[in-house]
Amino acid sequence: MKRMVAIVLALALCLGCMSFAAAEEKTKLTAVFIAHPLTQSVYDMEWLMQIEEDAGVDIEWEQIYTDWNQVKSTRFASGDIPDLLFNATGDSDYTTYEGLFMELTDLIDQYAPNVKAMFEEEPDTLALAKTMDGKIYATPKFQGKWPDCNGVMFINKTWLDALGLEVPTTLSELKNVLIAFRDGDPNGNGNNADEVPMDFNGWFGGAYSLSNLIGSWGIQLVNWGYDGYFAEGGVIKNFAVDERYKAMMTYLADLYAEGLINPNAITNDYSMFQSLSRGDADGNALVGVVLGWEETDKFGPNIYNQYIPCGPFTDDVDELATSEPRWTYDFSGLNMSSNRVAMSAKCANPEAAMKFIDKFYEPQHSVESLFGGVLDGNLEIVADDHYKVLDPPEEAHTDNGTWKWTSTFADNGPMYIRRATQIDMAKDMAFALAERDQYKEAIARIDMENEYYPQFLMKYSVEDQNTLAQLQVGITSVTDSWWGMWMTGEADINDTWEDYVAEVNANGLDQVLAIRQAAYDAWKAQ
């Protein structure tokens, strides 16, 4: 018996030593995560702790919520960076701080099968990850379940019904509906002066700006059309100097003169824009037509069911009419981002670090990175590669979108959500996807060979980057100063158009277009 006890004790001691040794064998790494202000501590994310366990690493995390762009240059210049950097770098950092970051191509090839699969199955992600000279310093993301466009134009169907009107399909019909909204007290509160027929936010590149209406004149924007750039027939152009933009501004100036556009929209910030759409304290809707992301987010829990999607509108108001209106195609911008995770060139265990990064790109962990973990109660496994996003618990007193940002890395995380992965979305995303059915026909008109211009995939030399940045400041100063004056009637577009175009061109637009064209052609050649 004594001998048996001794053997058992010896085995227990041996197993304890082995367990201790296994724990000691975990590779220690450091990491920084630039988080959304709502995001909880990474140490409270059970799914993330499980990834560390599965990868055999022990991460010492630093979580930064604000002012990273103000302090990162000091840290990068000093070389004071951790092994891994999540959501913390930009393309220019790799040239500005040459030698600070690890080149990842060979590590991905050897230790990251999920990242490799993403590059092979979604080639744009590889183009996104590469620098101009073909190197990779950070892994991107692909969350292929977001919709084809960002902005939805909503119209108050309850108001239409109250006034006996149909949903407009042309620009002239839209104007007539807005006039009826202005005059007819459609919210029925006895005050026909509190309704705002149409509202907007921002301008060039604004997801919720009336510049999105440029599609009614046949111009195809991609990823919000930042600064007015677009491709047509394989040629890079800027709609700010296009006759079709002049036609659009003429139309909008007419709406503004009729009191159909919110006069405060030009100066309102986003919070004011959002607040107005949610109605007054008595539950009355105040806005007739407006762009937004999703109905419950835009209009709140009380009046969202009054609104339906509308547009695009056929141009029937001028000689530039086209029978095939377009709508902005934002799929790549909504579903891909660069620089999710970078690695220090001084990382002592790059193989372990790369294996850890690759764990985020596994099917389940990718969904968890975006929506929250199975272990955390955010996600349910329905079947193999099939997940259900769960509603937040009642005690959380929050909505699905806020809970996502609170619980996990959300859109700031590394991930590869395959197109084949099935996700039963929460109410907000289910609505967002259904609302975009309105634009499928218009978006299908895009010529992917000659009109698809994802600006964030273009690569430029340091010299060209600096030139573009410097020239764009001058161009933007001109374009931004004129559209508001034209809309409000402070300046007449017909009297000032030619001088305006000359001023934009004098600020280097031709040079910008030439640089962008070369980058676009090089990207297509890949």
Residues 6+ apart with CB under 8 A from 354: 104, 107, 108, 110, 111, 112, 343
225 φψ region: left (φ > 0), alpha (ψ -120 to 50), beta (else): left
Residue 418's CB is within 10 A of a number of other CB atoms, namely: 19
Query: What one-letter code names the amino acid at 428?
Result: D
Q: Are 373 and 132 in contact (CB under 8 A)?
A: no
CATH topology of domain 26-146+333-423: D-Maltodextrin-Binding Protein; domain 2 (3.40.190)
pLDDT tens digits in sequence order for the chain, 526 residues long: 455 544 444 455 545 544 444 445 899 999 999 999 999 999 999 999 999 999 999 999 999 999 999 999 999 999 989 999 999 999 999 999 999 999 999 999 999 999 999 999 999 999 999 999 999 999 999 999 999 999 999 999 999 999 999 999 999 999 999 999 999 999 999 998 999 999 999 999 899 999 999 999 999 999 988 899 999 999 999 999 999 999 999 999 999 999 999 999 999 999 999 999 999 999 999 999 999 999 999 999 899 999 999 999 999 999 887 779 999 999 999 999 999 999 999 999 999 999 999 999 999 999 999 999 999 999 999 999 999 999 999 888 888 888 999 999 999 999 999 999 999 999 999 999 999 999 999 999 999 999 999 999 999 998 999 999 999 999 999 999 999 999 999 999 999 999 999 999 999 999 999 999 999 999 998 8
Strands in 386-389's sheet, in edge-to-edge order, are 379-383, 386-389, 422-424
Shortest CA distance to 123 belongs to which of 342, 365, 332, 328? 332
> Which phi and psi angles does 364 have, rounded to 5°?
-70, -45
Radius of gyration, alpha carbons of the chain: 27
The predicted structure's pLDDT at residue 3: 54
Q: Given CA atoms 443, 444, 447, 448 in this order, what sign does their dihedral have?
A: positive
The order of strands in the sheet holding 138-143 is: 57-64, 27-34, 84-86, 336-343, 138-143, 416-417
The answer to whether 378 and 367 are in contact (CB under 8 A) is no
**What is the separation of C-alpha 202 from the centre of its chain, rounded to a whole number of angstroms?**
16
CA–CA dist 460, 373 (Å, integer): 38
Among candidates 522, 516, 510, which has minimal Cα distance to 465? 516
DSSP per residue, 120-170: HHSHHHHHHHB-TTS-B-EEEEEETTS-S-S-EEEEEHHHHHHHT-PPP-B
Rounded Cα distance between 232 and 284, Å, is 43
Can you tell me the distance from the alpha carbon of 239 to that of 320, in angstroms, rounded to the nearest whole number?
14
Secondary structure (DSSP) of 179-202: HHHHHS-TT-SS-TTS-EEE----
Q: Are strands 84-86 and 152-156 parallel, antiparallel or unpaired?
A: unpaired
Pairing outcome for strands 416-417 and 138-143: parallel
Structure tokens at 188: 């029925």
**Which pLDDT does position 19 carry in this prediction?**
45
Residue given tokens 């790059």 in the structure block: 350
User: Which pLDDT does position 424 carry in this prediction?
Assistant: 97
**Quick one: how far is CA 448 from the chain centroid?**
20
Helix (H, G, I), strand (E, B) or coil at 365: helix
Apex 339 CA angle, 338 and 342, nearest 5: 155
How far does Cα 214 stand from its chain's mean position?
Answer: 20
Whether residue 312 is preceded by a cis peptide bond, meaning omega within 30 degrees of 0, is yes
Asked if 475 and 453 touch (Cβ cutoff 8 Å), the reply is no
The per-residue pLDDT for 7 is 47
* CATH code for the domain defined by 150-328+425-526: 3.40.190.10
pLDDT score of 190:
94
Distance of CA 520 to the CA centre of its chain: 21
**67 vs 49: CA distance, rounded Å:** 26
Query: Which residues make up the CATH 3.40.190.10 domain(s) of the chain?
Result: 26-146+333-423, 150-328+425-526
Residue 43 in tokens: 């140490």
Give the C-alpha separation, 396 to 438, whole Å.
33
Distance separating alpha carbons of residues 519 and 514, to the nearest angstrom: 9
pTM strictly above 0.85: yes
